[in-house]
Structure 1
């Protein structure tokens, strides 16, 4: 047997041991989506402005038809916006000022593409 270094799975997920099961599940789904890139089937497109803002949790939520929900953290929105701005600067392009991420339902296998404008207001 070889000695494999133990991995901190919380660090792999970008989470901490104090995160809730729902938060861990969401982080796992986001990591899986990054691996799959654009090959993931998307059920529909949702505007960030149409999602419900949860001030306590600092997340946007949207109900799924299964009764579950789609969750996008404020941090994810900011990170994706910054990443895309950097990509645009490096490539010398401008994509019309829209950003987005694919988000899985926290209960079923459906996913949506959440999009927003660079001009959106933060809470």
Structure 2
């Protein structure tokens, strides 16, 4: 059997989904963890911004996942747009994946991560 690299984020996501949905859930058995990942990000965006990926309320946080501009820039978001709310949802998710993987969980979104029972 050949060993296969599995990104740490995929392992954390699988653990979170198993805890939330149960081991027999089709979402846990998904072949492509990034597809299941998008569902988690959509739920997180719903909690953070009401699901509005292009929101700018003037509070210093932007986009569906409510990035600080400095965090957005630090994790490569400026390759898409200067501000997160100007980027496509998939681009915001890509930057969020990097942030989550670097921090080892969803701790950048503590309130909603707790509410959704995601690993911090």
Interval of TM-score (by shorter of Structure 1 and Structure 2): under 0.3
Larger radius of gyration: 1
State the TM-score, normalized to the length of structure 1.
0.25
State the TM-score, normalized to the length of structure 2.
0.26
Q: By percentage of residues, which structure has more strand?
A: 1
